Chains A and B, each alone.
Chain A
């Protein structure tokens, strides 16, 4: 009986093993071997020694940090504003559906909306030029790190809304009533109740936002192609560009390093989440 029960998950396990495990194995195996098939760490060492790859990591981290912080601040604010409205109302439906679209599925269309807005011929660019502000006077372009980051915020905020809404909903109105009843001001309630209760969830969600930006590539690919110096673009280049000898193994090593970064982020998320669960059941 016990043994028979396992039969039911065999198809799933096999499927995941083949179609997820195999590509993953190829990445790790390729990153850890030489062309002759010998075990080596030299691919990793080469990625650490390369100034281009180091600055790609630096750029990716900077991009992910600031877009996740901005996304977190505005995401929490927007979620709180939406939750304060009528539950099950039209506003909630629209915000939640739109958040889903922007957060998970918009990559390429989003990039083109940005081109149409802030590109050299974009509507806002032209509008600003008409009133005497030239966006492109300085070093700003839509394909710079800043331009791509602004586009990233477009999916970071909605993802924050999706992630944090349940926690904001979990703030019980009774807590506020109790605090106010005991003579606290609104501000003291926020300072001593709402913020401490929400903090673990907000930190956790911000970590997810970081991972999300770190691994994202679709928007950058559509906006700039592989010339932007971030890690996913370097992997793209290493695989399809064939500029350097041995480049694809370096790309695989970069891939393993990306996975390690995300796993670390996820472990931190899991630890923070343990704390968040105490209050928000």
Chain B
């Protein structure tokens, strides 16, 4: 449980350490028992499994400790191809979602502010529909749609999953982009740009995009994290994406590799969101990860 104890130490440091500098009359930082208790509990409960997973991943198939499982990841072609598929899906979805949502968000703020409430409601719909039900709907669509639709959409994981992952990403991206657009003086920017003869396309790309790049990056990061983790739809529709490969690998008796991959995935996703928290800090308005 080496990681667990590191976590507790880190929490103690934050709780007990002296405040770096007394900015304003901020609340005093005394180590209070109820805070320490929950930090210790949280460290045990959240870091314990991560530490266990890390230790587990170091046990090789021959029973000795080593990096064998991590080595296997690179050599395993099934996992590699699944990872490439998932990365492609993530990249395309992230771009698509911004291309679709940024102009919409700008337009609603500018011309149809009355629609704001409706937009919030519509972009929450993907949460109301459980992923497994979405998958059931797609399955039904697949078996009843005309042949050209099936050929166009469902013959390749990229075309089958990307359009629907854009939908799943709406709750995150709408809020991230809307926060970003709210924080800038949209009317002045657009008026200036339009008066100088720019088209709508030019205005979006050359004027608005650079001003909300933090929000756009945030939306893309969250979308990538979502696409790399989504398993229910791809598994039910039998596409070989990265999380599906993870499960299959563990079913074939090599849990060590799956656990090693899980750690890498968690670390990568955490890296994305941690980077996002710094990006958000640069501007006033935080890029929220809240959906509701």
Contact = CB atoms under 8 A, between A and B. Distances in A.
B255 A115 contact: yes
Could you say which of B103, B139, B243 has the most chain A C-beta atoms within 10 Å of its C-beta? B139
A194 to B, nearest CB: 13
A27 interface: yes
Interface stretch (B74-82, B183-191, B256-264): B256-264
A109 B49 CA distance: 11
Contacts of A101: 225, 266, 269-270, 273
Contact of B19 (A86, A90, A211): A86
A259 B136 CA distance: 12
B226 A104 contact: yes
B38 A217 contact: no
B135 interface: yes
Contacts of A163: 290, 292
B270 A97 contact: yes
Interface size of A as a range: 35 or more
Contact of B56 (A6, A24, A111, A116): A116
Given A8-B107, A9-B104, A30 B231 contact: no
B226 A105 contact: yes
Contact of B259 (A19, A81, A102, A112): A112
Contact of A9 (B107, B243, B250, B270): B107
B107 to A, nearest CB: 3
Interface string B237-248: 010000100110
A215 interface: yes
A26 B292 CA distance: 27
A179 interface: no
Given A23-B138, A101-B266, A258-B133, A115 B112 contact: no
Contact of A217 (B35, B232, B266): B232
Contacts of B222: 104
Contact of B49 (A24, A121, A154): A154
B115 interface: yes
A15 B100 contact: yes
B122 interface: yes
B27 interface: yes
B246 A112 contact: yes
Interface string B13-53: 01100011000001101001011001101100110111111
List the 5 shortest-distance A-B pairs measured between CB atoms, nearest first: A23-B137, A215-B130, A8-B107, A109-B262, A116-B56
